Chain A
Amino acid sequence: MKLPCAPKSLIAGSILLLGFLLPATIVWIWHGGHAPFIDIPNRYAPPSLTHPLGTDPFGRDLASYVLTGAFNTTAIALLSVTLGTVIGTILGLVGANGGKRGWAVMSAADLGLAFPPILIAAMLVTAQGASATGEILAIALFGIPAQIRITKQAAQSILVLDYISAARMAGFGSVAVTIRHVLPNIAPILIVHASTSLALAILSEAGLSYLGLGAPPPQPDLGRALASYQIHIFDHPFLVAAPGITVMALVLGFNLMGDGLRDLLERPFALNEERLS
């Protein structure tokens, strides 16, 4: 895979994400993961050299607040997508191998799809209080049924191929066949789906915390910032625009990356390789 032939959307998405996440990581480390300092006399300050986007109602630097929030949101999204992808993929592979166990898994996935995600999140929060952990679990849970179905579908299209029969004849069992042949061949689909899921997870995270189901203050959070500052949309537009645009950029970035990865990984190999003879 040569870099010059990488799809434009992959490059655009990566630049967009890097543009937000690199400063976000620096700021997060700078503040040790905490919110920027409260400076009440300096509240609602307009943009200046010391505060590029001005300050919030507590006099905190809005730029670093939003960047820390972006880091937190992305971290939560990454953790929940990782969790959801691993669990969903394993269950999907079990589902693809059929039998009673496979049937049970697929039925559970269908049942899972029938529950509205917000309801699940609200239930989780009621059960254990609003926290980042609850949010991660809830978002992971949203994604699992779809992950199961995608994995199952992709794995089944591989399992009918003759090289699977050849492996079975060689004495490999279901688990070995899955690890040797199925997983490597469905990996591109899983990678593309994971990066699209990341976009969705960011949106879900912002949505949950907008509704007050996310991590509690003082942890900087984009969704909560949007919810509490929306009354200032006309008098202090930066307070709403900064977190809003950041969420949008992150979602767009991961979506573009997903599209680009799809073009890069799922195109037929034969196109860019010369044949032997």
Chain B
Amino acid sequence: MSILLEARHIQFSVSEHKSSFFAPPRKTVLQDVSLHVAERETLGIVGSSGSGKSTLSRILTGLLKPEKGEVLFQGQALRDTAGQVRKDVRPHIQMIFQDPQGALDPRQTIRQIVKEPLHQTPLSTEEKERRVRQALTDVALPVDAADRYPRMFSGGQRQRIAIARALVTRPSVIIADEAVSALDVSTQAVVLNLLMDLQNRYGLSYIFVSHDLAVIRHISHRVAVLDGGRIVETGPTVSVLDHPQHPTTRALIDASL
């Protein structure tokens, strides 16, 4: 298995008091985080709130720039010399966000929303339209959904629209930040199965960030446990969750029982 996306020694911190006039103390969010995901693999990242999960997923997608360390896509740096995410890499890394309410612009139609990631690609208008339709079909939404607005859909449907938006560029890896946390349990199962189905069909890799061990156990092949900005334990999902070595992992498992 070849490594698709890799993070090396990532460090990130934020200033604690944003408006303080004097040099504020900085709070370390991520410290020396290294991880990778291979082709067709799902890496689960678990951790309690405040462990740096969301920051890590934003760094992996290129939305945030790490202070130290680097993110590599297929062995090459994610960012160009100017510090921007490389244009040729952008379509390959997509993200599904936590809150299906805030992830879709209420003033745009589903077509506009799903088409957005194709903005900088050299595809023709017809090809873009075809891609949008294919993506909507992939997530089992009717094609006539394209002309509707997000408010007309339920939470689960909206998350499927968000998945369609992530699929439309035919990405290699999708980073899902608490992608099913806002959904009820039965909808969670439907969306998770959809994601696993898409993985088989398109050979996708996922980095699945969640605080929910049941979800992680269901979907991921490997798991990394994040605590206080460090990875404290990593390994195949079954062995980590069934034979936890680190106290944080044990605490997470105990809390979920």
Contact = CB atoms under 8 A, between A and B. Distances in A.
Interface of A: 161-163, 165-172, 180-181, 184-185, 269-270, 273-277
A109 B61 CA distance: 36
Main secondary structure of the interface of A (DSSP, over half): helix
A162 B151 contact: no
Contact of A166 (B95, B149, B153): B95
A163 B102 contact: yes
Contacts of A161: 102-103
Given A162-B103, A163-B103, A185-B105, A169 B117 contact: yes
B94 to A, nearest CB: 7
26 contacts: A161-B103, A162-B102, A163-B102, A163-B103, A165-B95, A165-B97, A166-B116, A169-B85, A169-B93, A169-B117, A170-B90, A170-B117, A170-B118, A170-B119, A170-B120, A171-B87, A171-B90, A171-B120, A181-B107, A181-B108, A184-B107, A269-B106, A270-B151, A273-B152, A276-B157, A277-B154
B62 interface: yes
The 6 closest A-B pairs by CB, nearest first: A162-B97, A161-B102, A162-B103, A171-B120, A184-B107, A163-B105
B95 A185 contact: no
Nearest to A163: B105
B62 A166 contact: no
Interface in B143-169: 145, 148-149, 151-154, 157, 165
Contacts of A171: 87, 90, 119-120
B98 interface: yes
Nearest to A271: B151
A169 B94 contact: yes
B7 interface: no
A166 B103 CA distance: 8
Contacts of A275: 151-154
Main secondary structure of the interface of B (DSSP, over half): loop
B60 to A, nearest CB: 11
A16 B17 CA distance: 50
B247 to A, nearest CB: 33
Interface of B: 58, 61-63, 85, 87, 90, 93-95, 97-99, 102-108, 113, 116-120, 145, 148-149, 151-154, 157, 165
A274 B148 CA distance: 12
A169 B90 contact: yes
A273 B106 CA distance: 13
Nearest to B105: A163
Contacts of B94: 169
Nearest to A275: B152
B56 to A, nearest CB: 14
B233 to A, nearest CB: 29
Nearest to A276: B152
Nearest to B156: A277
Contacts of A273: 151-152
A172 B151 contact: no
Given A162-B102, A169-B94, 17 more contacts: A161-B102, A162-B99, A163-B105, A165-B97, A167-B116, A169-B85, A169-B93, A169-B95, A171-B87, A171-B119, A172-B119, A181-B108, A269-B151, A270-B151, A275-B151, A275-B152, A277-B154
B165 A166 contact: yes
Please indicate which of the listed interface residues A166, A171, A274, A275 has the most CB atoms of chain B within 10 Å of its own CB.
A166
A148 to B, nearest CB: 18
Nearest to A184: B107
A167 B105 CA distance: 10
Contacts of B153: 275-277
Given A169-B61, A170-B116, A269-B151, A185 B106 contact: yes
A181 B105 contact: yes
B234 to A, nearest CB: 26
A24 to B, nearest CB: 36
Contacts of A270: 151
Nearest to B169: A170
Please indicate which of the listed interface residues B85, B149, B151 has the most CB atoms of chain A within 10 Å of its own CB.
B151
A244 to B, nearest CB: 43
Given A276-B145, A276-B148, A276-B152, A168 B97 contact: no
B82 to A, nearest CB: 13
Contacts of B85: 169
A269 B149 CA distance: 10
Given A162-B98, A170-B90, A170-B117, A277 B151 contact: no
Contacts of B119: 170-172
